[in-house]
Amino acid sequence: MSDKYVPRLRTKYDTEIRAKLKEEFGYTNDMQIPKLDKVVINMGVGEAVADSKKIKTALAEMEKISGQKPVATKARKSIAGFKLREEMLIGCKVTLRRERMYEFIDRLTNIALPRVKDFRGLNGKSFDGRGNFAMGLKEQLVFPEISYDEIEDIRGMDIIVCTTAKTNDEAKSLLTQCGFPFRN
């Protein structure tokens, strides 16, 4: 390897987690071992319909949290009841891969989740059947990059962790060993 920076979680995955998963599920080929594929962070900003400045602050906050520039999402069709027009900016999302993904998961499990109020663990049933895990956060303040004094609104976000696992059990085992605190 070169002198390139390798995230702490990636090193742990390569040295410990792969061997444990291979032993636990009895894989015959190293390519069968599940790994983290990507992390998608999504933030809906419904208030952006009335005030277009809200989307700019949401984009800035998500950029601080993820370390990558997010993409603004647009409405697909007009809904008169919500005063929503087609192509209006109503949210933002970012897809993290490789080093940024490992860094984000490390920060999420070790710093952000312990700061969540009344946190009792993640729901172990939030898998989609194909090895992907989805969770939601009610506020962006749990990340240390966001200063309490600088925010205007408290916004939630959805975090989807995609893996190469074929079943929920494989994915849950992988994420548990990566530090995700499941309650059941």
- Cβ proximity of 89 and 51 under 8 Å: no
Query: At a CB cut-off of 8 Å and minimum separation 6, what does 32 contact?
Result: none
- Position 1 confidence tier, pLDDT thresholds 50, 70, 90: very low
CA dist 55 and 61 (Å) reads 10
Q: Note whether residue 78 is domain-resident.
A: yes
CATH number of the domain bearing residue 154: 3.30.1440.10
Phi, psi of 24 (to 5 degrees): -65, -45
The amino acid at residue 91 is: G
pLDDT digits (tens, 9 = 90+) for 118-146: 878 888 788 888 888 888 888 777 777 77
Q: Note whether residue 4 is domain-resident.
A: no
Domain coverage including residue 41: 31-177
- Position 175 confidence tier, pLDDT thresholds 50, 70, 90: confident
pLDDT digits (tens, 9 = 90+) for 30-66: 888 888 889 999 988 877 666 777 778 888 888 888 8
Neighbours of 95 (CB within 10 A): 17
What pLDDT is stored for residue 72 in this prediction? 84
Q: Provide the number of structural domains found in the chain.
A: 1
Q: Note whether residue 22 is domain-resident.
A: no
What pLDDT is stored for residue 98 in this prediction? 87
What are all long-range contacts of 23-26, with beta carbons under 8 Å and residues at least 24 apart? Answer: 24/173, 25/170, 25/173
CA triple 172-165-107, angle to 5 deg: 55
Q: Note whether residue 118 is domain-resident.
A: yes
The amino acid at residue 40 is: V
Q: Note whether residue 90 is domain-resident.
A: yes
Q: Note whether residue 17 is domain-resident.
A: no
What pLDDT is stored for residue 116 in this prediction? 79
Q: Note whether residue 62 is domain-resident.
A: yes
CA dist 143 and 113 (Å) reads 9
Q: Note whether residue 2 is domain-resident.
A: no
